[in-house]
């Protein structure tokens, strides 16, 4: 630990390069609950390292900013990540032939979350502010635990998992996914009506989906609590592009869930019950319309969208109380 007086003494001994970090503002920022008004030297060291890394990364990203306007296009970010691969020991095992798919997988995450309006560019400032670069740089750690690799979208196991799933879905091996092939995604319980909307709204080629469009789809379904994912799903649920969901829209999607329940020999749940539950969860500003803002504000947007598009999610929601009891009993055993 170090107090402010000694902090200033170190400043006077440090070189000119270090002095900008020895300010009262930095000291106050790091000051927490120490009764003697001291800060942790290790915390200060980490703060400086992080700042320097951000400066270096900012300069590194700027080299790829062809237009010099403070943002990167998709091709710019692809070049940056391609040249970053050899500096990340965790990616040493990747085959060169997989590099283009890895880069595509990595870049999609940046653009899905940082460019929700699909302008085709992301601000360097936004890249630095989000946590994705931290996840990438984590791959410099040669001893990164397996569980951390599995939860890191940019790790080799994660990229290979996503690409492997894509190849498994592509039954006719033409490099693209048809609606029938995509229907097998996950537990294979996404409704046909929802899949129709995916193919109506998302970029396809002769009615088939390429890997880049598939990545957006996966990022939306794997991150349903995030605003960008809810925005993606809302666009699909808003059939008539009205900017809100009404009872007709909810019924349109829920009928497909009821149909799947009948197919699986289950007694369908009444639409009115589900409709009332959804409106109770969301508590929209307008009692008859649910906007994207309503979904974001209520904190239940992921539940609402899930029970309208996926039988498995609906079944889990319907049986949530039974599942909680079962889990508790298993824990006791």
pLDDT tens across the length of the chain (333 residues): 999 999 999 999 988 889 899 999 999 999 988 899 999 999 999 899 888 888 888 999 999 998 889 999 999 999 999 999 999 999 998 999 999 999 999 999 999 999 988 899 999 999 999 889 889 888 988 888 888 888 999 999 999 999 999 999 999 999 999 999 999 999 899 999 999 999 999 988 999 999 999 999 999 999 999 999 999 999 999 999 999 999 999 999 999 999 999 998 888 899 999 999 999 999 999 999 999 999 999 999 999 999 999 999 999 998 877 655 555 455 555
Separation of alpha carbons 259 and 266, rounded Å: 10
User: What is the phi/psi pair of residue 314, to 5°?
Assistant: -65, -45
Separation of alpha carbons 83 and 318, rounded Å: 48
Which among 27, 39, 223, 212 is positioned nearest to 131, based on CA atoms? Answer: 223
Q: Which residues contact 203 (CB under 8 A, 6 or more apart)?
A: 210, 212, 213
Fold of 189-321: Recoverin; domain 1 (1.10.238)
- Could you give the dihedral angle defined by the CA atoms of residues 94, 99, 105 and 111, in that order, rounded to the nearest 10 degrees? 140
CATH number of 66-169: 1.10.238.220
Which among 325, 322, 321, 304 is positioned nearest to 313, based on CA atoms? Answer: 304
Separation of alpha carbons 111 and 209, rounded Å: 18
| Amino acid 144: pLDDT | 84
Which residue in the block uniquely carries the two structure tokens 């402010």? Answer: 4
| Amino acid 323: pLDDT | 52
By the 8 A CB rule, do 162 and 154 touch?
no
Cβ neighbours, 10 Å, residue 238 = 19
| Amino acid 148: pLDDT | 87
| Amino acid 133: pLDDT | 87
Separation of alpha carbons 82 and 74, rounded Å: 12
Separation of alpha carbons 296 and 294, rounded Å: 5
| Amino acid 330: pLDDT | 55
Separation of alpha carbons 54 and 181, rounded Å: 43
Strand partners, 205: 208
By the 8 A CB rule, do 215 and 108 touch?
yes
Separation of alpha carbons 231 and 233, rounded Å: 6
> In angstroms, how far is CA 149 from the centroid of its own chain?
16
């Amino acid at each position: 630990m170090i107090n402010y007086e000694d902090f200033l003494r170190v400043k006077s001994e440090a070189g000119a390069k270090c002095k900008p970090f020895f300010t009262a503002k930095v000291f106050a920022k790091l000051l927490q609950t120490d009764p003697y008004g001291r800060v942790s030297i290790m915390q200060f060291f980490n703060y400086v390292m992080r700042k320097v890394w951000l400066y270096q990364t900012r300069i590194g990203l700027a080299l790829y900013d062809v237009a010099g306007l403070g943002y990167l296009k998709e091709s710019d970010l692809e070049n940056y990540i391609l040249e970053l691969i050899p500096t990340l020991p965790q990616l040493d095992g990747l085959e060169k032939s997989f590099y283009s798919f890895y880069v595509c997988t990595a870049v999609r995450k940046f653009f899905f979350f940082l460019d929700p309006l699909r302008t085709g560019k992301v601000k360097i400032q936004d890249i630095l502010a989000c946590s994705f670069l931290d996840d990438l740089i984590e791959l410099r750690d040669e001893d990164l635990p397996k569980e951390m690799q599995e939860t890191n979208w940019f790790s080799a196991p994660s990229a290979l998992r996503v690409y492997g799933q894509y190849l498994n879905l592509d039954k006719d091996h033409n490099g693209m996914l048809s609606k029938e092939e995509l229907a097998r995604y996950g537990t294979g319980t996404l409704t046909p009506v929802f899949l129709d909307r995916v193919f109506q709204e998302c970029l396809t080629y002769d009615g088939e989906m390429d890997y880049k469009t598939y990545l957006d789809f996966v990022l939306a379904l794997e991150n349903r609590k995030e605003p960008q994912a809810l925005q993606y799903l809302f666009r699909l649920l808003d059939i008539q592009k009205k900017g809100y969901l009404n009872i007709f829209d909810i019924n349109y999607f829920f009928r497909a869930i009821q149909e799947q329940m009948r197919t699986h020999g289950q007694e369908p749940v009444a639409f009115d019950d589900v409709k009332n539950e959804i409106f109770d969860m969301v508590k929209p500003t307008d009692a008859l319309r649910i906007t994207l803002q309503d979904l974001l504000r209520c904190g239940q947007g992921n539940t609402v969208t899930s029970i309208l598009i996926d039988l498995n999610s609906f079944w889990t929601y319907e049986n949530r109380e039974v599942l909680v009891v079962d889990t508790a009993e298993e824990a006791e055993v």
